[in-house]
Structure 1
Amino acid sequence: MMKPLGIILALIVYALPLTRAAYDLSRVDVTKIPPAAKTKVDFARDIYPIFKEKCISCHGPEKQKGSYRIDTKDGAFKAGDNGFNIIPDHSERAPIVLMIAGQIDEMLMPPPKAEPLTPEEIGLVRAWVDQGAVWPDGPIPEFIKKVDFVRDVQPVLQKSCLECHGAEKQAGGFRLDQKAAALKGGQTYGVVIKPGDAAKSSFLLIVAGKDEDIAQPEKHQLGAKQVELLRRWIEQGADWP
Protein backbone atom coordinates (compact mmCIF):
# COMPACT_ATOMS: atom_id res chain seq x y z
CA MET A 1 0.00 0.00 0.00
CA MET A 2 1.35 3.44 -0.99
CA LYS A 3 2.19 5.73 1.93
CA PRO A 4 0.49 9.18 2.16
CA LEU A 5 3.67 11.01 1.11
CA GLY A 6 4.02 8.76 -1.91
CA ILE A 7 0.42 9.44 -2.90
CA ILE A 8 0.97 13.20 -2.66
CA LEU A 9 4.13 13.04 -4.78
CA ALA A 10 2.38 10.90 -7.36
CA LEU A 11 -0.47 13.40 -7.60
CA ILE A 12 1.97 16.28 -8.04
CA VAL A 13 3.85 14.48 -10.82
CA TYR A 14 0.58 13.58 -12.52
CA ALA A 15 -0.69 17.14 -12.34
CA LEU A 16 2.44 18.87 -13.63
CA PRO A 17 1.69 18.41 -17.34
CA LEU A 18 -1.74 19.92 -16.78
CA THR A 19 -0.54 23.13 -15.18
CA ARG A 20 0.27 26.30 -17.09
CA ALA A 21 3.06 28.75 -16.44
CA ALA A 22 1.58 32.01 -15.16
CA TYR A 23 2.77 35.46 -16.14
CA ASP A 24 5.10 37.13 -13.67
CA LEU A 25 3.10 40.20 -12.66
CA SER A 26 5.28 41.11 -9.69
CA ARG A 27 7.21 43.74 -11.66
CA VAL A 28 4.20 45.33 -13.34
CA ASP A 29 3.84 49.07 -12.76
CA VAL A 30 0.13 49.76 -13.17
CA THR A 31 0.76 53.51 -13.16
CA LYS A 32 2.46 53.18 -16.55
CA ILE A 33 -0.65 51.75 -18.20
CA PRO A 34 -2.80 54.30 -20.07
CA PRO A 35 -6.04 54.97 -18.17
CA ALA A 36 -9.25 53.30 -19.24
CA ALA A 37 -11.40 55.24 -21.66
CA LYS A 38 -14.22 57.09 -19.91
CA THR A 39 -16.86 55.99 -22.38
CA LYS A 40 -19.20 53.07 -22.82
CA VAL A 41 -17.33 50.65 -25.05
CA ASP A 42 -19.00 48.75 -27.87
CA PHE A 43 -17.11 45.56 -28.70
CA ALA A 44 -17.91 45.44 -32.42
CA ARG A 45 -17.28 49.14 -32.95
CA ASP A 46 -14.35 49.81 -30.62
CA ILE A 47 -12.53 46.59 -29.73
CA TYR A 48 -12.74 44.01 -32.49
CA PRO A 49 -11.29 46.38 -35.12
CA ILE A 50 -8.23 46.76 -32.86
CA PHE A 51 -7.90 43.00 -32.46
CA LYS A 52 -8.31 42.55 -36.21
CA GLU A 53 -5.69 45.14 -37.10
CA LYS A 54 -3.10 44.53 -34.38
CA CYS A 55 -3.58 41.02 -32.94
CA ILE A 56 -5.19 38.43 -35.20
CA SER A 57 -2.21 37.99 -37.52
CA CYS A 58 -0.41 36.26 -34.62
CA HIS A 59 -3.46 34.98 -32.73
CA GLY A 60 -5.96 33.96 -35.39
CA PRO A 61 -6.96 31.03 -37.57
CA GLU A 62 -3.59 30.70 -39.32
CA LYS A 63 -1.24 31.30 -36.41
CA GLN A 64 -1.70 30.95 -32.65
CA LYS A 65 1.34 32.21 -30.75
CA GLY A 66 1.31 30.91 -27.20
CA SER A 67 -1.57 28.58 -28.16
CA TYR A 68 -3.86 31.59 -27.99
CA ARG A 69 -6.26 33.07 -30.51
CA ILE A 70 -8.35 36.19 -30.27
CA ASP A 71 -10.45 36.05 -33.42
CA THR A 72 -13.23 34.09 -31.71
CA LYS A 73 -15.00 34.47 -28.39
CA ASP A 74 -14.26 30.90 -27.30
CA GLY A 75 -10.59 31.24 -28.16
CA ALA A 76 -10.17 34.62 -26.47
CA PHE A 77 -11.54 33.43 -23.14
CA LYS A 78 -9.62 30.15 -23.09
CA ALA A 79 -6.26 29.92 -21.40
CA GLY A 80 -3.17 30.01 -23.57
CA ASP A 81 0.24 28.58 -22.69
CA ASN A 82 0.59 31.14 -19.90
CA GLY A 83 -2.91 31.11 -18.49
CA PHE A 84 -5.96 33.30 -18.99
CA ASN A 85 -5.39 36.63 -20.74
CA ILE A 86 -8.75 38.32 -20.22
CA ILE A 87 -9.92 38.87 -16.65
CA PRO A 88 -13.29 40.64 -16.79
CA ASP A 89 -13.68 43.66 -14.48
CA HIS A 90 -9.95 43.76 -13.64
CA SER A 91 -7.91 45.42 -16.36
CA GLU A 92 -5.05 46.08 -13.95
CA ARG A 93 -4.54 42.30 -13.67
CA ALA A 94 -5.56 41.23 -17.17
CA PRO A 95 -2.46 40.02 -19.05
CA ILE A 96 -3.92 41.15 -22.38
CA VAL A 97 -3.92 44.76 -21.12
CA LEU A 98 -0.49 44.46 -19.52
CA MET A 99 1.02 42.97 -22.68
CA ILE A 100 -0.34 45.57 -25.10
CA ALA A 101 0.84 48.25 -22.66
CA GLY A 102 4.38 46.83 -22.73
CA GLN A 103 4.39 45.78 -19.08
CA ILE A 104 5.32 42.12 -19.59
CA ASP A 105 8.75 42.18 -21.22
CA GLU A 106 8.81 38.55 -22.28
CA MET A 107 5.35 38.77 -23.87
CA LEU A 108 4.99 42.09 -25.68
CA MET A 109 1.92 42.45 -27.89
CA PRO A 110 2.31 43.22 -30.69
CA PRO A 111 5.98 42.14 -31.05
CA PRO A 112 8.61 44.94 -31.01
CA LYS A 113 8.88 45.11 -34.82
CA ALA A 114 5.12 45.54 -35.29
CA GLU A 115 3.11 48.72 -34.88
CA PRO A 116 2.14 49.11 -31.20
CA LEU A 117 -1.29 50.05 -29.97
CA THR A 118 -1.81 53.73 -29.29
CA PRO A 119 -2.57 54.92 -25.74
CA GLU A 120 -6.14 55.55 -26.91
CA GLU A 121 -6.49 51.98 -28.17
CA ILE A 122 -5.05 50.57 -24.95
CA GLY A 123 -7.50 52.75 -23.02
CA LEU A 124 -10.40 51.29 -25.00
CA VAL A 125 -9.29 47.70 -24.39
CA ARG A 126 -8.82 48.47 -20.71
CA ALA A 127 -12.28 50.03 -20.47
CA TRP A 128 -13.76 47.01 -22.26
CA VAL A 129 -12.20 44.65 -19.72
CA ASP A 130 -13.29 46.82 -16.78
CA GLN A 131 -16.83 46.92 -18.16
CA GLY A 132 -17.04 43.14 -18.06
CA ALA A 133 -15.28 42.20 -21.31
CA VAL A 134 -18.62 41.76 -23.06
CA TRP A 135 -18.25 39.83 -26.33
CA PRO A 136 -21.66 39.26 -27.97
CA ASP A 137 -22.50 35.86 -29.39
CA GLY A 138 -22.86 35.41 -33.12
CA PRO A 139 -21.21 37.10 -36.12
CA ILE A 140 -19.47 40.41 -35.49
CA PRO A 141 -20.69 43.32 -37.65
CA GLU A 142 -17.99 44.76 -39.88
CA PHE A 143 -17.03 48.26 -38.78
CA ILE A 144 -14.66 50.31 -40.91
CA LYS A 145 -12.44 52.32 -38.63
CA LYS A 146 -12.55 56.04 -39.32
CA VAL A 147 -9.15 57.32 -40.41
CA ASP A 148 -8.07 60.39 -38.47
CA PHE A 149 -5.87 62.75 -40.50
CA VAL A 150 -3.85 64.19 -37.61
CA ARG A 151 -3.33 60.86 -35.87
CA ASP A 152 -2.99 58.49 -38.83
CA VAL A 153 -2.22 60.32 -42.08
CA GLN A 154 -0.17 63.38 -41.19
CA PRO A 155 2.69 61.37 -39.60
CA VAL A 156 3.00 59.31 -42.80
CA LEU A 157 3.15 62.42 -44.97
CA GLN A 158 5.66 64.10 -42.69
CA LYS A 159 7.98 61.11 -42.63
CA SER A 160 7.87 60.07 -46.28
CA CYS A 161 6.63 62.98 -48.41
CA LEU A 162 7.41 66.45 -47.09
CA GLU A 163 11.12 66.30 -47.79
CA CYS A 164 10.27 66.67 -51.49
CA HIS A 165 6.77 68.15 -51.25
CA GLY A 166 6.85 70.59 -48.35
CA ALA A 167 7.48 74.25 -47.65
CA GLU A 168 11.10 74.27 -48.85
CA LYS A 169 10.83 72.03 -51.89
CA GLN A 170 7.93 71.23 -54.21
CA ALA A 171 8.99 68.55 -56.68
CA GLY A 172 6.72 68.64 -59.72
CA GLY A 173 5.08 71.76 -58.32
CA PHE A 174 3.28 69.60 -55.76
CA ARG A 175 3.16 70.08 -52.00
CA LEU A 176 1.59 67.98 -49.28
CA ASP A 177 1.92 70.20 -46.25
CA GLN A 178 -1.23 72.19 -47.01
CA LYS A 179 -4.73 70.91 -47.69
CA ALA A 180 -5.58 73.25 -50.58
CA ALA A 181 -2.27 72.62 -52.35
CA ALA A 182 -2.47 68.85 -51.88
CA LEU A 183 -5.98 68.62 -53.32
CA LYS A 184 -5.12 71.00 -56.16
CA GLY A 185 -2.29 68.80 -57.37
CA GLY A 186 0.86 69.89 -59.22
CA GLN A 187 2.29 70.71 -62.62
CA THR A 188 3.72 67.24 -63.18
CA TYR A 189 1.24 65.18 -61.22
CA GLY A 190 -2.06 66.89 -61.89
CA VAL A 191 -4.85 66.14 -59.42
CA VAL A 192 -3.78 62.97 -57.61
CA ILE A 193 -6.07 62.96 -54.56
CA LYS A 194 -9.77 62.69 -55.34
CA PRO A 195 -11.76 62.61 -52.08
CA GLY A 196 -14.22 59.75 -51.98
CA ASP A 197 -12.70 58.01 -55.01
CA ALA A 198 -9.56 56.07 -54.13
CA ALA A 199 -9.71 54.11 -57.39
CA LYS A 200 -9.09 57.30 -59.38
CA SER A 201 -6.51 58.75 -56.99
CA SER A 202 -3.12 58.18 -58.61
CA PHE A 203 -1.49 59.34 -55.38
CA LEU A 204 -1.76 55.77 -54.10
CA LEU A 205 0.17 54.33 -57.04
CA ILE A 206 2.82 57.04 -56.73
CA VAL A 207 3.53 56.53 -53.02
CA ALA A 208 3.63 52.76 -53.53
CA GLY A 209 6.24 53.17 -56.28
CA LYS A 210 3.95 51.61 -58.89
CA ASP A 211 3.30 54.58 -61.15
CA GLU A 212 5.06 53.93 -64.47
CA ASP A 213 5.46 57.63 -65.31
CA ILE A 214 6.47 59.06 -61.93
CA ALA A 215 9.45 57.48 -60.20
CA GLN A 216 9.23 57.40 -56.42
CA PRO A 217 12.56 57.17 -54.52
CA GLU A 218 12.75 53.76 -52.90
CA LYS A 219 13.41 55.22 -49.45
CA HIS A 220 10.11 57.10 -49.64
CA GLN A 221 7.97 54.28 -51.00
CA LEU A 222 5.25 53.26 -48.57
CA GLY A 223 4.45 49.75 -47.43
CA ALA A 224 1.18 47.96 -48.06
CA LYS A 225 -0.31 48.89 -44.67
CA GLN A 226 0.45 52.59 -45.12
CA VAL A 227 -0.95 52.61 -48.65
CA GLU A 228 -4.10 50.88 -47.40
CA LEU A 229 -4.40 53.51 -44.66
CA LEU A 230 -4.19 56.30 -47.24
CA ARG A 231 -6.65 54.46 -49.47
CA ARG A 232 -9.21 54.31 -46.66
CA TRP A 233 -8.58 57.97 -45.83
CA ILE A 234 -9.28 59.01 -49.43
CA GLU A 235 -12.26 56.67 -49.72
CA GLN A 236 -13.72 58.20 -46.56
CA GLY A 237 -13.50 61.67 -48.08
CA ALA A 238 -9.85 62.66 -47.43
CA ASP A 239 -10.87 64.69 -44.40
CA TRP A 240 -8.14 67.26 -43.64
CA PRO A 241 -8.93 69.67 -40.78
Structure 2
Amino acid sequence: MTSRPIVEVDPKSLPSVYSPQATVIKGVRSDGIHFKVDIGSVCYLEREIDSDSHMSGKHYISCSVNTKSLSPERVEWLRNYLYTVLNKGWRDETLRTHLYNLRYFFNFCDFNGGGKPITLDGLVSEYQRYQVILDQRGNMNGECSLKPSTILTRLNTVRSFIQWAFQLSNYAILTYIPKQRSRQSNSVDEGRAVSLRDGQEYLRACANYFNQFSDAILDNNYPIPISHPLDEREHLYCNGRL
Protein backbone atom coordinates (compact mmCIF):
# COMPACT_ATOMS: atom_id res chain seq x y z
CA MET A 1 0.00 0.00 0.00
CA THR A 2 1.30 3.43 -0.93
CA SER A 3 0.01 6.99 -0.90
CA ARG A 4 -1.26 8.58 -4.09
CA PRO A 5 -1.51 12.10 -5.49
CA ILE A 6 -4.77 13.84 -4.62
CA VAL A 7 -6.67 16.79 -6.03
CA GLU A 8 -8.86 18.78 -3.65
CA VAL A 9 -12.02 19.85 -5.47
CA ASP A 10 -14.21 22.72 -4.29
CA PRO A 11 -17.78 22.27 -5.62
CA LYS A 12 -18.10 26.05 -5.87
CA SER A 13 -15.05 26.30 -8.13
CA LEU A 14 -14.80 23.20 -10.28
CA PRO A 15 -11.60 22.58 -12.23
CA SER A 16 -11.97 21.99 -15.95
CA VAL A 17 -9.99 18.75 -15.78
CA TYR A 18 -9.33 16.43 -12.84
CA SER A 19 -8.77 12.73 -12.21
CA PRO A 20 -11.70 11.05 -10.43
CA GLN A 21 -9.39 8.57 -8.66
CA ALA A 22 -7.44 11.46 -7.11
CA THR A 23 -10.47 13.50 -6.05
CA VAL A 24 -10.98 14.75 -2.52
CA ILE A 25 -14.11 16.88 -2.18
CA LYS A 26 -13.84 19.76 0.27
CA GLY A 27 -16.48 22.03 1.71
CA VAL A 28 -17.98 23.56 4.83
CA ARG A 29 -20.53 21.87 7.07
CA SER A 30 -23.64 23.65 8.31
CA ASP A 31 -21.89 24.26 11.65
CA GLY A 32 -19.00 26.04 9.91
CA ILE A 33 -16.48 23.20 10.24
CA HIS A 34 -14.47 22.40 7.11
CA PHE A 35 -14.56 18.84 5.78
CA LYS A 36 -12.80 16.77 3.14
CA VAL A 37 -14.04 13.47 1.70
CA ASP A 38 -11.65 11.19 -0.15
CA ILE A 39 -14.12 9.78 -2.65
CA GLY A 40 -11.52 8.97 -5.31
CA SER A 41 -10.12 6.10 -3.25
CA VAL A 42 -13.15 3.92 -4.08
CA CYS A 43 -11.67 3.53 -7.57
CA TYR A 44 -9.04 1.21 -6.07
CA LEU A 45 -10.09 -2.36 -5.34
CA GLU A 46 -7.34 -2.70 -2.75
CA ARG A 47 -7.00 0.20 -0.35
CA GLU A 48 -6.82 1.14 3.27
CA ILE A 49 -10.29 1.43 4.75
CA ASP A 50 -11.42 5.03 4.87
CA SER A 51 -11.13 6.92 8.13
CA ASP A 52 -11.69 10.53 9.13
CA SER A 53 -8.42 10.35 11.05
CA HIS A 54 -6.67 11.32 7.82
CA MET A 55 -7.20 14.97 8.73
CA SER A 56 -4.04 16.48 10.19
CA GLY A 57 -4.38 20.19 10.86
CA LYS A 58 -4.94 21.94 7.53
CA HIS A 59 -3.40 19.05 5.61
CA TYR A 60 -5.24 16.00 4.34
CA ILE A 61 -3.45 12.67 4.27
CA SER A 62 -5.00 10.40 1.65
CA CYS A 63 -5.54 6.74 2.49
CA SER A 64 -3.01 4.27 1.14
CA VAL A 65 -3.90 2.21 -1.93
CA ASN A 66 -2.49 -0.50 -4.13
CA THR A 67 -1.96 1.53 -7.29
CA LYS A 68 -2.05 -1.65 -9.39
CA SER A 69 -5.63 -2.29 -8.26
CA LEU A 70 -7.03 0.83 -9.96
CA SER A 71 -10.29 -0.06 -11.72
CA PRO A 72 -10.84 1.77 -15.04
CA GLU A 73 -14.54 0.91 -14.75
CA ARG A 74 -14.87 2.62 -11.38
CA VAL A 75 -12.94 5.64 -12.64
CA GLU A 76 -15.52 6.06 -15.38
CA TRP A 77 -18.41 5.50 -12.97
CA LEU A 78 -17.10 8.11 -10.57
CA ARG A 79 -16.43 10.56 -13.40
CA ASN A 80 -20.05 10.35 -14.54
CA TYR A 81 -21.39 10.51 -10.99
CA LEU A 82 -19.32 13.53 -9.96
CA TYR A 83 -20.23 15.34 -13.17
CA THR A 84 -23.89 14.99 -12.18
CA VAL A 85 -23.74 15.76 -8.45
CA LEU A 86 -21.25 18.62 -8.70
CA ASN A 87 -23.57 20.40 -11.13
CA LYS A 88 -26.73 20.01 -9.06
CA GLY A 89 -26.03 23.02 -6.88
CA TRP A 90 -26.39 21.04 -3.65
CA ARG A 91 -25.36 22.56 -0.35
CA ASP A 92 -21.98 21.33 0.89
CA GLU A 93 -23.68 19.46 3.73
CA THR A 94 -25.99 17.61 1.32
CA LEU A 95 -23.10 16.68 -0.97
CA ARG A 96 -21.08 15.47 2.01
CA THR A 97 -23.93 13.19 3.12
CA HIS A 98 -24.21 11.57 -0.32
CA LEU A 99 -20.45 11.08 -0.62
CA TYR A 100 -20.24 9.46 2.80
CA ASN A 101 -23.16 7.19 1.96
CA LEU A 102 -21.47 6.19 -1.28
CA ARG A 103 -18.24 5.49 0.57
CA TYR A 104 -20.13 3.33 3.11
CA PHE A 105 -21.47 1.27 0.22
CA PHE A 106 -18.10 0.68 -1.43
CA ASN A 107 -16.53 -0.14 1.91
CA PHE A 108 -19.28 -2.73 2.30
CA CYS A 109 -18.56 -4.11 -1.18
CA ASP A 110 -14.79 -4.26 -0.76
CA PHE A 111 -14.26 -5.03 2.94
CA ASN A 112 -17.24 -7.15 4.00
CA GLY A 113 -16.95 -10.24 1.86
CA GLY A 114 -18.37 -8.56 -1.22
CA GLY A 115 -17.45 -9.17 -4.82
CA LYS A 116 -15.59 -5.87 -5.39
CA PRO A 117 -17.93 -5.10 -8.30
CA ILE A 118 -16.69 -3.68 -11.60
CA THR A 119 -19.84 -4.38 -13.65
CA LEU A 120 -23.44 -3.18 -13.56
CA ASP A 121 -24.69 -6.64 -12.61
CA GLY A 122 -22.11 -6.80 -9.84
CA LEU A 123 -23.23 -3.44 -8.46
CA VAL A 124 -26.89 -4.45 -8.51
CA SER A 125 -26.07 -7.71 -6.73
CA GLU A 126 -24.12 -5.85 -4.04
CA TYR A 127 -26.96 -3.34 -3.70
CA GLN A 128 -29.38 -6.17 -2.98
CA ARG A 129 -27.02 -7.66 -0.40
CA TYR A 130 -26.52 -4.20 1.11
CA GLN A 131 -30.28 -3.72 1.41
CA VAL A 132 -30.64 -6.98 3.33
CA ILE A 133 -27.92 -5.97 5.80
CA LEU A 134 -29.38 -2.48 6.30
CA ASP A 135 -32.84 -3.96 6.89
CA GLN A 136 -31.35 -6.25 9.54
CA ARG A 137 -29.73 -3.29 11.25
CA GLY A 138 -33.06 -1.50 11.16
CA ASN A 139 -34.50 -4.28 13.34
CA MET A 140 -31.67 -4.13 15.88
CA ASN A 141 -31.43 -2.20 19.11
CA GLY A 142 -28.44 -0.28 20.37
CA GLU A 143 -25.50 1.31 18.58
CA CYS A 144 -25.74 -0.94 15.52
CA SER A 145 -29.35 0.01 14.78
CA LEU A 146 -30.29 2.35 11.93
CA LYS A 147 -33.34 4.56 11.59
CA PRO A 148 -35.69 3.93 8.63
CA SER A 149 -34.84 7.39 7.29
CA THR A 150 -31.11 6.58 7.37
CA ILE A 151 -31.65 3.29 5.54
CA LEU A 152 -33.77 5.03 2.92
CA THR A 153 -31.15 7.75 2.35
CA ARG A 154 -28.30 5.25 2.00
CA LEU A 155 -30.19 3.04 -0.44
CA ASN A 156 -31.35 5.97 -2.55
CA THR A 157 -27.80 7.34 -2.70
CA VAL A 158 -26.50 4.04 -4.08
CA ARG A 159 -29.40 3.77 -6.51
CA SER A 160 -28.69 7.28 -7.81
CA PHE A 161 -25.00 6.44 -8.14
CA ILE A 162 -25.78 3.41 -10.30
CA GLN A 163 -28.19 5.41 -12.43
CA TRP A 164 -25.84 8.33 -13.01
CA ALA A 165 -22.68 6.23 -13.31
CA PHE A 166 -24.23 4.27 -16.18
CA GLN A 167 -26.25 7.24 -17.46
CA LEU A 168 -29.52 5.32 -17.20
CA SER A 169 -32.91 6.92 -17.69
CA ASN A 170 -35.49 6.97 -14.90
CA TYR A 171 -37.27 4.13 -16.66
CA ALA A 172 -34.13 2.06 -17.30
CA ILE A 173 -33.01 2.11 -13.66
CA LEU A 174 -36.38 0.66 -12.65
CA THR A 175 -35.53 -2.55 -14.51
CA TYR A 176 -32.61 -3.03 -12.11
CA ILE A 177 -33.64 -1.36 -8.85
CA PRO A 178 -37.13 -0.20 -7.86
CA LYS A 179 -37.52 3.22 -6.32
CA GLN A 180 -37.20 3.10 -2.55
CA ARG A 181 -40.09 4.60 -0.61
CA SER A 182 -40.32 5.82 2.94
CA ARG A 183 -40.79 2.98 5.40
CA GLN A 184 -42.51 5.22 7.93
CA SER A 185 -46.19 5.54 7.26
CA ASN A 186 -47.90 8.72 8.38
CA SER A 187 -51.27 7.59 7.09
CA VAL A 188 -54.15 6.85 9.42
CA ASP A 189 -56.52 3.94 8.95
CA GLU A 190 -59.70 5.87 8.25
CA GLY A 191 -61.84 2.92 9.29
CA ARG A 192 -60.37 3.06 12.79
CA ALA A 193 -60.02 6.81 13.18
CA VAL A 194 -62.23 7.96 16.07
CA SER A 195 -62.48 11.45 17.50
CA LEU A 196 -62.60 12.05 21.25
CA ARG A 197 -66.21 13.19 21.02
CA ASP A 198 -67.24 10.09 19.05
CA GLY A 199 -65.56 7.89 21.62
CA GLN A 200 -67.33 9.61 24.49
CA GLU A 201 -70.72 9.26 22.77
CA TYR A 202 -70.05 5.58 22.12
CA LEU A 203 -69.20 4.89 25.77
CA ARG A 204 -72.25 6.85 26.95
CA ALA A 205 -74.52 4.81 24.67
CA CYS A 206 -72.99 1.52 25.87
CA ALA A 207 -73.53 2.48 29.53
CA ASN A 208 -77.11 3.51 28.78
CA TYR A 209 -77.90 0.24 26.97
CA PHE A 210 -76.37 -1.79 29.78
CA ASN A 211 -78.55 -0.11 32.40
CA GLN A 212 -81.70 -0.50 30.30
CA PHE A 213 -81.04 -4.18 29.60
CA SER A 214 -80.22 -4.88 33.26
CA ASP A 215 -83.39 -3.24 34.53
CA ALA A 216 -85.59 -4.99 31.97
CA ILE A 217 -84.09 -8.43 32.68
CA LEU A 218 -84.50 -8.02 36.45
CA ASP A 219 -88.12 -6.95 35.95
CA ASN A 220 -88.72 -9.64 33.31
CA ASN A 221 -89.94 -6.88 31.04
CA TYR A 222 -90.03 -7.92 27.37
CA PRO A 223 -89.66 -6.55 24.75
CA ILE A 224 -86.95 -4.42 26.29
CA PRO A 225 -87.49 -0.70 25.78
CA ILE A 226 -84.28 1.07 24.81
CA SER A 227 -83.37 4.63 23.95
CA HIS A 228 -80.35 6.15 22.21
CA PRO A 229 -78.75 9.31 23.64
CA LEU A 230 -78.91 11.01 20.23
CA ASP A 231 -82.24 9.55 19.08
CA GLU A 232 -85.45 11.31 20.19
CA ARG A 233 -87.78 8.45 19.23
CA GLU A 234 -89.60 6.97 22.22
CA HIS A 235 -90.54 3.50 21.00
CA LEU A 236 -87.36 1.53 20.34
CA TYR A 237 -87.40 -2.09 21.51
CA CYS A 238 -85.18 -5.13 21.61
CA ASN A 239 -87.41 -8.19 21.04
CA GLY A 240 -84.95 -11.02 21.75
CA ARG A 241 -84.91 -12.81 25.13
CA LEU A 242 -81.49 -13.17 26.78
| TM-score, structure 2 normalization | 0.25
- Report which of the two has the higher share of strand: 2
- Relative contact order (alpha carbons < 8 A, sep ≥ 6): 1 or 2 greater? 1
Task: Provide the TM-score with structure 1 as the length reference.
Answer: 0.25
